[in-house]
A and B are shown apart, each in its own frame.
Chain A
């Protein structure tokens, strides 16, 4: 096998190029993706269309009619190399996601408790204890790929996926936890639901979450759930977003 050198540029058609920083899921690598995304957006080169940051690579979309493609490749190569070793962000933006656990909103909480050997209360406690890092968004609008869930909560997906999972459902799939942003089929174990809408096309912004942010789940009761749900429907709900200075990178180097 030939040794791959990073960062490397990958051709992805006539309107897209991918800058890849590694082939593992790692916060340090992911922070370099975020840095390059910010630099590319700031550079405002002619023909620029979009960036898609993912776990370990950044896709840059461009209009091939107005873009000097060779110049773009070489510029991106230089920008990516100049980033050096990623350090991660010193500050953390944390979005608080209120969640009602168990009952009809989290029908698999008991199964997760049984699988992990914990009480349902302990599952909720551990699920709300760790902040989770948003590596990327994808799959459906506003769907976050989160890392950093307490490893003791690991539970496999359902053998038979559900045909329809309501938007806002909070689930566990293996080492991952996440929130269904729109109603869709799925096989994650559902432990709760947030009254927040992760995606609302008629709201500005349609999606609060961004790659590089952190998610903190907060357990709420039925009364608060209903209150937030009503505010969400009226589009008056503003999520709690905290700016925190992190003493160290939590979960740096972890592999999902």
Chain B
């Protein structure tokens, strides 16, 4: 069976190839990039049977129209609700569907959120650049020629992982989907330069309401609101900018630094938005109101670990789904249903392991 390939009929507003990011080159000035909502991205990959770091399409607000030009596989959309359709039929987010040559994948308009992940079996296959497929447009690196998709692009997918064809119909239960309450405050770990702000400045930041300005992209979100007062100068000797860092330049308006942020910078950082809420922020739009609250680093780590357990849960569900007799709305051709492998949950010393196997035999 051939791997999937797409042709881009309409590129959408900003559709880029992203994976879990380009790590280990920040010391040389190379930004990490990668999916803005890492949890939705990883869950989508698990749904379609991929390694959770496989490259996907990050779709921003107005999605693309893609035609499947080759192959057969499965797809799922996670993250924002942007009106995903296959051949004009609405497909719910978090649900695995089979797609094959001749199908048209499209998005008919945003309902909620900002960024969706279109994950496909085999992942998007573009050349690895510095160990990642993530697109970083500012330096024209990764993805398709270092840019967003454009009309006429051919997008190829990798060879799907074994058992991809048994993922159809799998749904990520609501309880495992990330909470994206648009009114929830963003939780911030104070530091590294919170000592360079006055009591009044800190009170503004944690007390006042801010609005996401129009300067909001993959690099960072600038907020407008009560200016945050420094004790002295707003500049420091340039140092590293972690994901979620809240920079406050001299004008006193906070900027939350996101996936495409530069590696280093010279503005004071009042705090760092916890990883889980970085993803939540990336689903909000300019004009949205934002509040900040404090969180201790150990509690923030707890939240990240809870998300990791959620991914483990979904992997277990997938294993159960694949090894059970399938209950699928779509009739399954006999040849596909015949087991050519399996997946099971194995418990050793109280730890659960997902084992998958594939029978190497006749292939047509």
Give A residues with C-beta under 8 Å from B. 10-16, 18, 20, 23-25, 37, 49-57, 59, 61, 64-65, 69, 136-143, 145, 181-182, 199, 201-202, 206-207, 209-211
Contact = CB atoms under 8 A, between A and B. Distances in A.
B126 to A, nearest CB: 12
Interface string B245-282: 10000000000000000111100010011110000000
Contact of A140 (B29, B245, B298): B29
Contacts of A59: 239-240, 242
A199 B192 contact: no
A32 to B, nearest CB: 14
Best-buried of A15, A56, A69, A209 by chain B (most CB within 10 Å): A15
A201 B129 contact: yes
Contacts of A211: 27
B87 interface: no
A14 B301 contact: yes
A65 B263 CA distance: 22
B347 interface: no
A60 to B, nearest CB: 9
12 contacts: A10-B192, A14-B274, A14-B275, A14-B303, A14-B304, A15-B242, A54-B237, A54-B239, A54-B264, A64-B275, A138-B262, A182-B139
B25 interface: yes
A137 B301 contact: no
Which 6 pairs across A and B sit closest by C-beta, in order of nearness? A138-B264, A13-B272, A59-B240, A10-B192, A14-B300, A16-B242
A163 B242 CA distance: 28
A210 to B, nearest CB: 7
A202 B129 contact: yes
B27 A51 contact: yes
B189 A13 contact: yes
Nearest to B303: A14
Q: Which of A50, A56, A139, A209 has the most CB of B within 10 A?
A: A50
B242 A137 contact: no
B90 interface: no
B258 to A, nearest CB: 13
Interface string B293-305: 0000110110111
A52 B245 CA distance: 15
Contacts of A14: 189, 272, 274-275, 297, 300-301, 303-304
B23 interface: yes
Given A61-B26, A201-B139, A11 B191 contact: yes
Given A18-B239, A141-B30, A11 B190 contact: yes
A56 B262 CA distance: 18
Contacts of B129: 201-202
Contact of A12 (B29, B138, B237, B245): B245
B208 interface: no
B304 A65 contact: yes
A53 B130 contact: no
Given A16-B242, A64-B304, A140 B139 contact: yes
Contacts of B193: 10
Given A11-B189, A52-B239, 17 more contacts: A11-B190, A12-B191, A13-B274, A14-B275, A14-B304, A15-B304, A20-B192, A50-B26, A56-B239, A61-B23, A61-B26, A64-B304, A139-B29, A142-B29, A201-B129, A206-B28, A207-B28
